[in-house]
Amino acid sequence: MTESESAAERWLSYRKEIKVLDATIRDGGLMNDSKFDDDVVRAVYEANVAAGVDYMEIGYINSQTQFPKKDFGPWRHCREQDLRRIVGDNDTSLKLSAMADAEKSDYETDILPKDQSVLDMIRVACYIHQIPTAIRMVEDAHNKGYETCVNIMAGSTLAERELDEALEMLAETPVNVIYVVDSFGFLYSEQIEALVEKHLAVLKGTGKEVGIHCHNNRQLAFANTIQAIIKGANYLDASFAGLGRAAGNCQLELLLSFLHNPNYHLRPVLACIQEHIEPMREKLMWGYDYPYMVTGIRNEHPRSGMAFNASKDRGDIVKFYDSMIAEE
Amino acid sequence: MTESESAAERWLSYRKEIKVLDATIRDGGLMNDSKFDDDVVRAVYEANVAAGVDYMEIGYINSQTQFPKKDFGPWRHCREQDLRRIVGDNDTSLKLSAMADAEKSDYETDILPKDQSVLDMIRVACYIHQIPTAIRMVEDAHNKGYETCVNIMAGSTLAERELDEALEMLAETPVNVIYVVDSFGFLYSEQIEALVEKHLAVLKGTGKEVGIHCHNNRQLAFANTIQAIIKGANYLDASFAGLGRAAGNCQLELLLSFLHNPNYHLRPVLACIQEHIEPMREKLMWGYDYPYMVTGIRNEHPRSGMAFNASKDRGDIVKFYDSMIAEE
């Protein structure tokens, strides 16, 4: 029995390999075109440092052509001067990451060599058919000196054979972490377990880690994160108050209070939520809600639910449900 | 492999032994002294019938001395004339249950013989030290002709030896179902699994079923219900929009959409939620919220969180957190 297996089987111990990644500004940026005020980003940064969180994903490092500065905030592009305005030289134990979307990032030019950046990790997000592009992006970031990670999105829709192939291809790359990503908030425990087990089996002996990124459409984001931990995932995504696209992510406050690592602290997270995050809820409209539940049940992208909640019909959940059935 | 084991191992099948119990009016009554308008109770009843739900727990059958009629609504006492005003002779496939609290119910006089009542099941709620009283209540209800059930409350605080003794005692009674009850919303999957397995082991061969009743303090009510299903629990408590004490219960809409039994229908539940349940949320203040999360993390009764949310300090989650730490 390895140390990690034995820790997983105890209820009061903790696994020191576990890393918590706060994705608040990055995933939450999908609800406001990444237009967070500097004071919010700074508050989240400082709370992460105080809470002992391992990584903060501070935004996307995506194309200024595809996401013009007139329409999107600085956390869609993560230019160095924007980052340093918040974190200075980041003389803390908190690592910083940015996400580059396959085919939406001018990564070759926009991602600087590591010795010129405060970023520590580049996370590549891709759909399964973009794996060759993702691998090229991973190699670029690795060669520039970064830790790297791949998030294969829409994990609840992947053809088993394609996922197997993707994992075998990724196993040959320098990528450090591969995530199970339930973009649609569809999966439940047994499916999460099967996916994590599959990833670990293919990656066995490579030294690569498996991560978990959940959405809360069926109020299973935290629970599924727990199941992934039990099966051996060591990189855990969460966000303050679950702020993220549509139903949002695993709540950081729930996750930190569940993990037994004494380096993690709940109070700074609650304070930041109270002062900076909850005041944005009415405008950003993230979190568990019936339209997102319906898209989650149906294993669909939440975009129809987001459009409905932004319309005058918000609250007429039967109307939304009927419209989805009618489209079948 | 039994049929039930094999169904549990398939993702698309369903277990015909599973029974869903809606506890909206009973558990939700803890947020409004059981003062629901008749039209709400009738709407929930009709939605349950239309949705194919198996049982509706329509209230408590508790003492009018301890819960005077001037302070508590009719759903704290479940007198026959109140029940029949809503359900008539209940000429439907929906069974009706009422909960009698140990030491709070004049069960010998207030529970009529089954042939004089529209109730089908009496559920006895007790704390572990009240097991002898609970057994007497089960025998009374059984002898009167009812299905019976015992909910041992505060399941996350039970001494293992006491629970073992309680289960052995209950195994000798005519009780039909014994519930794992996470009153404080503290437990996570591995603990739920261990409890369900323990119950099933002791009850093996008796023909008795195991049930699950969860609270949502850590957003694990639905997830824990799933884990209990996987392990073999067949009686599942839920409520419309999760309406129940403090953080509330497992959401019926999530549970029905998860189960694959074609007898269950989601739309009537959504319609009732939209028209009757959500309009009560602001006043009744149930559902996942930070103070309830904090009591859940601490494995405590939610009463301090309920008092805080009813005070002028509502929303000052750091103040509540600090007050709980200070009391340690």
- In this model, does residue A48 exceed pLDDT 50? yes
Q: Copy the structure tokens of residue B324.
A: 């709980």
A107 near A58, Cβ under 8 Å?
Answer: no
B19 near B236, Cβ under 8 Å?
Answer: yes
| DSSP type of residue B19 | E
A277 near A24, Cβ under 8 Å?
Answer: yes
What is the tens place of the pLDDT at every residue in B59-81?
A: 999 999 999 999 999 999 999 99
Asked, for residue A170, whether it belongs to a domain, the answer is: yes
Stretch B108-112: mean pLDDT: 98
Q: Can you tell me whether residue B287 is helix, strand or coil? A: coil
Q: In 3D, which of A58, A45, A141 has the Cα closest to residue A93?
A: A45
Per-residue confidence (pLDDT) for residue B6, from 0 to 100:
59
What is the tens place of the pLDDT at every residue in A242-271?
A: 999 999 999 999 999 999 999 999 999 999
Same domain, B277 and B300: no
Q: What are phi and psi of B318, to 5 degrees?
A: -70, -40
Of A218, A288, A318, the CB nearest to B267: A318
Residue of chain B whose alpha carbon sits nearest to that of A266: B321
Between the alpha carbon of residue A11 and those of residues A220, A221, A226, the distances in Å are 20, 20, 12
What pairs with residue A310 in β-bridges?
A: none
Secondary structure (DSSP) of B22-36: E-HHHHHGGGTTT--
Q: Copy the structure tokens of residue B31.
A: 């947020």
Same domain, B248 and B277: yes
Of B189, B221, B273, the CB nearest to A189: B189
| Number of domains chain B is built from | 2
- B257 has a chain A CB within 8 A of its CB: yes
Same domain, A193 and A320: no
CATH number at residue B265: 3.20.20.70
Same domain, A271 and A182: yes
A interface mutation test: which of B220, B225, B323 has the most A CBs within 10 A?
A: B220
- In this model, does residue B219 exceed pLDDT 80? yes
A interface mutation test: which of B182, B217, B218 has the most A CBs within 10 A?
A: B218
- In this model, does residue A3 exceed pLDDT 60? no
Neighbour-count burial of A272, counting CB atoms closer than 10 A to its CB (0-12 exposed, 13-18 middle, 19+ buried): buried
Does A321 sit within 8 Å of B189, measured CB to CB? no
Q: Copy the structure tokens of residue B284.
A: 């009744």
Stretch B10-29: mean pLDDT: 93
| Residues B252, B258, B262, B266, CA torsion sign | positive
In chain A, residues 198-217 whose CB comes closer than 8 Å to chain B: 216
Residue of chain B whose alpha carbon sits nearest to that of A252: B218
- In this model, does residue A310 exceed pLDDT 80? yes
Residue of chain A whose alpha carbon sits nearest to that of B278: A315
Question: SS3 string of chain A?
Answer: CCHHHHHHHCCCCCCCCCEEEECHHHHHHHHCCCCCCHHHHHHHHHHHHHHCCCEEEEEECCCCCCCCCCCCCHHHCCCHHHHHHHHCCCCCCCEEEEEEECCCCCHHHHCCCHHHCCCCEEEEEECHHHHHHHHHHHHHHHHHCCEEEEEECCHHHCCHHHHHHHHHHHHCCCCCEEEEEECCCCCCHHHHHHHHHHHHHHHCCCCCEEEEEEECCCCCHHHHHHHHHHHCCCEEEEEHHHCCCCCCECEHHHHHHHCCCCCCCCHHHHHHHHHHHHHHHHHHCCCCCHHHHHHHHCCCCCHHHHHHHCCCCCCCHHHHHHHHHHCC
Asked, for residue B211, whether it belongs to a domain, the answer is: yes
Per-residue confidence (pLDDT) for residue B12, from 0 to 100:
80
Does B219 sit within 8 Å of A11, measured CB to CB? no
Per-residue confidence (pLDDT) for residue B13, from 0 to 100:
84
- A63 has a chain B CB within 8 A of its CB: no
Q: Count of CB contacts below 8 A, A vs B? A: 96
Per-residue confidence (pLDDT) for residue B14, from 0 to 100:
87
Same domain, A255 and A299: no
Asked, for residue A3, whether it belongs to a domain, the answer is: no
Rounded CA gap, B98 and B101, in Å? 10
Q: From the CA atom positions of chain B, what is the Rg in Å?
A: 19
Per-residue confidence (pLDDT) for residue B1, from 0 to 100:
37
Does A227 sit within 8 Å of B189, measured CB to CB? yes
- In this model, does residue B100 exceed pLDDT 60? yes
- Nearest-Cα distance to chain A for B112, in Å, is 40
Secondary structure (DSSP) of B230-253: HHT--EEEEBGGG-SSTT-B-BHH
Of B254, B257, B274, the CB nearest to A318: B274
What is the tens place of the pLDDT at every residue in A190-239?
A: 999 999 999 999 999 999 999 999 999 999 999 999 999 999 999 999 99
Q: In 3D, which of A312, A10, A53, A304 has the Cα closest to residue A184?
A: A304
- B266 has a chain A CB within 8 A of its CB: yes
Residue of chain A whose alpha carbon sits nearest to that of B270: A318
Containing B198, the helix (H) or strand (E) segment is helix B189-203
- A68 has a chain B CB within 8 A of its CB: no
Same domain, B51 and B130: yes
- B261 has a chain A CB within 8 A of its CB: no
| Number of Cα atoms under 13 Å in the Cβ half of residue A103 | 8
Q: How far is CA B6 from the centre of its chain?
A: 27
Stretch B32-59: mean pLDDT: 98
- A7 has a chain B CB within 8 A of its CB: no
B196 near B231, Cβ under 8 Å?
Answer: yes
Same domain, A175 and A59: yes
Q: Copy the structure tokens of residue A104.
A: 């939406």
Q: What are phi and psi of B209, to 5 degrees?
A: -105, 160
Same domain, B250 and B320: no
Same domain, B158 and B264: yes
A interface mutation test: which of B188, B300, B308, B313 has the most A CBs within 10 A?
A: B188
What is the tens place of the pLDDT at every residue in B221-264?
A: 999 999 999 999 999 999 999 999 999 999 999 999 999 999 99
Q: At what angle do helices A189-203 and B221-231 cross, to 10 degrees?
A: 80
Average pLDDT, chain A: 96
Does B316 sit within 8 Å of A274, measured CB to CB? yes
Asked, for residue A185, whether it belongs to a domain, the answer is: yes
Does A253 sit within 8 Å of B270, measured CB to CB? no
Cβ atoms within 10 Å, residue B311: 11
Same domain, B210 and B233: yes
Residue type, A257: S
Does A220 sit within 8 Å of B253, measured CB to CB? no
- Nearest-Cα distance to chain B for A34, in Å, is 26
Q: What are phi and psi of B42, to 5 degrees?
A: -65, -40
What is the tens place of the pLDDT at every residue in A56-94?
A: 999 999 999 999 999 999 999 999 999 999 999 999 999
- In this model, does residue A9 exceed pLDDT 70? no
Rounded CA gap, A2 and A244, in Å? 35
Stretch A124-128: mean pLDDT: 97
Per-residue confidence (pLDDT) for residue B301, from 0 to 100:
96
Alpha-carbon dihedral of residues A79, A81, A85, A86, nearest 10 degrees? 30
Of B224, B257, B318, the CB nearest to A270: B318
Same domain, B110 and B246: yes
Per-residue confidence (pLDDT) for residue B10, from 0 to 100:
74
A222 near B218, Cβ under 8 Å?
Answer: yes
| DSSP type of residue B282 | H
B interface mutation test: which of A226, A252, A259, A276 has the most B CBs within 10 A?
A: A226
Of B216, B219, B274, the CB nearest to A317: B274
Average pLDDT, chain B: 96
Label residue A7 by pLDDT band (50, 70, 90).
Answer: low
Q: What percent of chain B has pLDDT over 70?
A: 97
**Pairing mode, if any, of strands A95-101 and B147-152?**
unpaired
Stretch B202-219: mean pLDDT: 98
Range of the domain at B311: 290-326
Asked, for residue A160, whether it belongs to a domain, the answer is: yes
Residue of chain A whose alpha carbon sits nearest to that of B287: A288
What is the tens place of the pLDDT at every residue in B127-140?
A: 999 999 999 999 99
Per-residue confidence (pLDDT) for residue B9, from 0 to 100:
64
Label residue A2 by pLDDT band (50, 70, 90).
Answer: very low
Does A273 sit within 8 Å of B317, measured CB to CB? yes
Q: What percent of chain A has pLDDT over 90?
A: 95
Per-residue confidence (pLDDT) for residue A257, from 0 to 100:
97
Asked, for residue A4, whether it belongs to a domain, the answer is: no
Same domain, B278 and B315: no
Asked, for residue B158, whether it belongs to a domain, the answer is: yes
Stretch B189-196: mean pLDDT: 97
Label residue B55 by pLDDT band (50, 70, 90).
Answer: very high
Residue of chain B whose alpha carbon sits nearest to that of A220: B223
B74 near B298, Cβ under 8 Å?
Answer: no
- In this model, does residue A11 exceed pLDDT 80? no
Label residue B3 by pLDDT band (50, 70, 90).
Answer: very low
Per-residue confidence (pLDDT) for residue B110, from 0 to 100:
98
Asked, for residue B1, whether it belongs to a domain, the answer is: no
